[in-house]
Amino acid sequence: MILVTGGAGFIGANFVLDWLAGPNEPLVNLDKLTYAGNMESLAALRDDSRHVFVKGDIGDGSLVARLLGQYQPRAVINFAAESHVDRSISSPEDFIQTNIVGTFRLLEAVRAYWGGLTGIAKDEFRFLHVSTDEVYGSLAPAAPAFTEAHSYQPNSPYSASKAASDHLVRAYHHTYGLPVLTTNCSNNYGPFHFPEKLIPLMIVNALAGKPLPVYGDGMQVRDWLYVRDHCSAIRRVLEAGKAGEVYNVGGWNEKPNIDIVNIVCDLLDELQPRPDGKRYREQITYIKDRPGHDRRYAIDARKIQHELGWKPAETFETGIRKTVVWYLANPQWVQHVQSGAYKDWVDTHYAGAAAS
């Protein structure tokens, strides 16, 4: 058994689906089901007894302790986080509470549980913390990509809160000996991505005939990682990573945001043309840049490749086509995840689940 936190969010849900698609052991999925957590992403597991879902908060130390004691997991994988930079600028406190305080309380519960283990169970236990390349700050155009030794220079409330959580995880290893692993990934994309993020927002707005908002000049560069490649990297780090180590996970796909938008538009032109025959690129609208917008992120993923033998299976071209095709095939998921009625249903349906 493993315990996954944040397993109804974008990356977490993809990980849970991939994990249970293979011959792996059952898992407990703890998720608070905030706006970005969506049980419909896990609909394929509705009748799968290997998936135990609990609605709850990683900041609820007593709940986490109860789950650890009840299910005795061999590993905890922490996806739970507030992750949208724009939201962190307008409402930073939520990010402090979840990403810093929540991680601290989760670590405390896990430390107590691990401290009570003995023998092989204690030796083989792992706490894997999933983080972001944004903790490293912004790169100049010609600067080398981020390595695991790069200094932390977070520039938004979101990245600062994730940097703090990374430091807590590191400290719990060095102070208490907790066997931790940390992964810092580049921008993910793929199925089940909440449509406030760049790629799904462009797809959803384009199909709805709405403007495609591009910040500033659109030349902010990101490294893009297909989410299921990220999931395979996490599985590999859990399997063979060295306790206390950090592994950067990237897709080797540096592209400016405007290029991403143009690629999405061109794929939609091919796969679902506008009824009026015009091109989706005509909907692109440049808007005022957001405060403190980092110009470039880039991940050097050589360590995970050399030490653990992992590299991404998808190119950007194959991954983005799969992503656009998925959104075209799943309009109901998009409608529901954006619906206040759906959120109300979740609150009613899972009321009291954490105490069951």
Residue 22, Cα to own-chain centre: how many angstroms?
A: 21
Give catalytic status of residue 307 as yes or no.
no
Q: Which two tokens stand for residue 238?
A: 């859990």
Tell me phi and psi for residue 55, to 5 degrees.
-80, 120
Burial class (CB in 10 A: 0-12, 13-18, 19+), 269: middle
Tell me phi and psi for residue 244, to 5 degrees.
90, -10
Exactly one of 113, 136, 158, 327 is catalytic; name it: 158
Exactly one of 31, 133, 166, 294 is catalytic; name it: 133
The SS3 of residue 30 is: strand
Residues 6+ apart with CB under 8 A from 254: 221, 222, 223, 296, 298
Exactly one of 60, 134, 223, 314 is catalytic; name it: 134
Dihedral in degrees, nearest 10, Cα atoms 41, 103, 96, 4: 0
Give catalytic status of residue 133 as yes or no.
yes
DSSP state of 299: B
Give catalytic status of residue 158 as yes or no.
yes
Dihedral in degrees, nearest 10, Cα atoms 64, 66, 70, 74: 30
The SS3 of residue 174 is: helix
Distances (CA, A) of 263 to 109, 189, 201: 45, 14, 14
| 138 CB neighbour count, 10 Å cutoff | 18
Q: Give the active site residues.
A: 133-134, 158
